[in-house]
Amino acid sequence: MAMIIIDGVALPSPSKYGLPDSDLDSENTNRNEEGVLQRDRIRQGLYKIELEWKAITSADLHTIRAAIVPEAVQVKHITETGYVTKTMYAGDRKVEMVKYNPDYNKIHWDISFNLTEY
């Protein structure tokens, strides 16, 4: 099975796959006059997937970019305990041509972006 499946589309295996999770604090979270954190955590364990593909073909780049066009996507991805499915959105995409060839199908690209849980 693919490492990442977006809305039913299996993506090529990424070159890098980071899986930090984070907490979401309310606007009431701040530090008091003594510098002590007054935390109001409203949600914990939000996934953010840090993805990078290196030297992929134009066809693979198109597959990846097409999968993240929608505002929200269903992402099935691997974790340390197995696969989970989360509703996520794609952040800014960084795309670079790393090897030019007059034949479009032989151009190589790098792409990186994050998927963040809603």
Assess if residue 26 is contained within a domain. no
**What pTM was computed for the model?**
0.86
DSSP state, 71?
S
Q: Residue 94 falls within a domain, yes or no? A: yes
Any domain includes 60: yes
Structural domain containing residue 113: 1-9+47-118
pLDDT digits (tens, 9 = 90+) for 11-58: 999 999 999 988 888 898 999 999 999 998 988 889 999 999 999 999
110 within some domain: yes
Coil, strand or helix at 1: coil
Assigned domain for 15 exists? no
Residue 41, domain member (yes or no)? no
In terms of phi and psi (left: phi > 0; alpha: psi -120 to 50; beta: otherwise), the region of 9 is: beta
- Confirm whether 92 is domain-assigned: yes
At residue 21, the pLDDT reads 86
Q: In this predicted model, what pLDDT tens digit does every residue of 51-108 receive, in sequence order?
A: 999 999 999 999 999 999 999 999 999 999 999 999 999 999 999 999 999 999 999 9
Q: Has residue 116 been placed in a domain?
A: yes
- Domain total for the chain? 1
Q: Check if the beta carbon of residue 96 is closer than 8 Å to that of residue 33.
A: no
